[in-house]
Every structure is written in structure tokens, then in C-alpha cells.
Amino acid sequence: MNKKQGAIIVVLLALIVCAGILATKLNADLDYVAGNDMSSGKSTISSNDSATSKTGSSFFQENQIVRDNNNTQALQNLKALIDDEHTSNEVRADLSKKYTNLALATSNQNQIETILKSKGYEEVLSYVQDNKVTIIIKATNKLTEAQQKQIQDVVMDVTHIKDVEIQLKE
């Protein structure tokens, strides 16, 4: 490594540190993400929540964040491989197809959740795989046939996938 490459690395590291500092100053929610609730002095990462409604909601929120982060990371990894100059055209075409499918699945998941919430379901989480869609709904009682049909119709309209698994979470 010569001096020029070393200088570039040092500058890039400095920019990363600056970006991190700027992000912590601009985003007040970073304490929440880190597990610190400044208003109550408690850790937000706790399994001792006494309110079941908070636990149910946090299940949906946490899993949605994890799913979205995983999708974003996968999209970034695919994009990096697609942009790599050493990737052959055949592999690049396959990666592009995977990238498109994942981006479409992510969009479909969000669209399904939004539509189902607009239809009165309090909390919804959806996972779109290749030929199957899994829907997790917050419900205390078993869904009626009409509700199941409504959910399947929404999924079919958005994704054109017939295989729908509906799971209930209290």
C-alpha cells in the first residue's frame, strides 16, 4: 500500500466517523434503537412488559423492522455484486432478476399490510416468498371465513399468489 492509498483510507474512515456523529445528533430516536428509553430511564429491550397489548404491538413492530433491515441489506448486497466489474454477464443477469424480485416482494409486503390495516386489522405483518405469502395478524379470536377470504383476496390482488398462510398472534 502506498501513501496515496493510505491517505484515502484515513479520509474515508474520518468521513464514516463524521457521518456517525452527525446521525446521532440529528436522530433523537437512536437512543430508542439502542435500547435506551430516556423518558423513563428503562431499557426498551425488555421481556418484562406487563401490558400484553404493548408486547403484541412490539412483536409486530420489531419483526417489521428486522424484516425491512434484512431486505435492505440483501438489496445492498445484490446491488454491490451486480455493480462489481468482475461479475460475469450471466451471473449479473441472474442477480438482477433476484434484485428485482426482492424489491417487488418488499413493495408487495408493504402494500398488503397497508390495505389490510385500512380494512380494520390492527396489526399486520406479511412475508412474500417465491410462491407463498405468510400473513400474521393480531387477533384474539379465530378469523371468520369471510375475513380469511378477504385477506386471501387482498394477497391475490397484490401478488397474484394463491398460496396464503394466515397466522394469528395475540
Task: Give the closest residue to 104 by CA, choosing from 161, 151, 62, 149.
Answer: 161
Residue 71 phi, psi dihedral angles, 5° rounding: -65, -45
Q: Where are the domains of the chain?
A: 1-43, 52-169
45 band by pLDDT with thresholds 50, 70 and 90:
very low
Instruction: List 37's β-bridge partners, or say none.
Output: 42
Asked if 102 and 75 count as a contact pair (C-beta separation under 8 A), the reply is yes
DSSP conformation class of 127: E
CATH number, domain 52-169, options 3.30.450.40, 1.10.287.4300, 2.60.40.10, 1.10.3210.10:
1.10.287.4300
Residue owning grid cell 409486530:
60
User: What integer best gives the mean pLDDT of the chain?
Assistant: 80
170 band by pLDDT with thresholds 50, 70 and 90:
confident
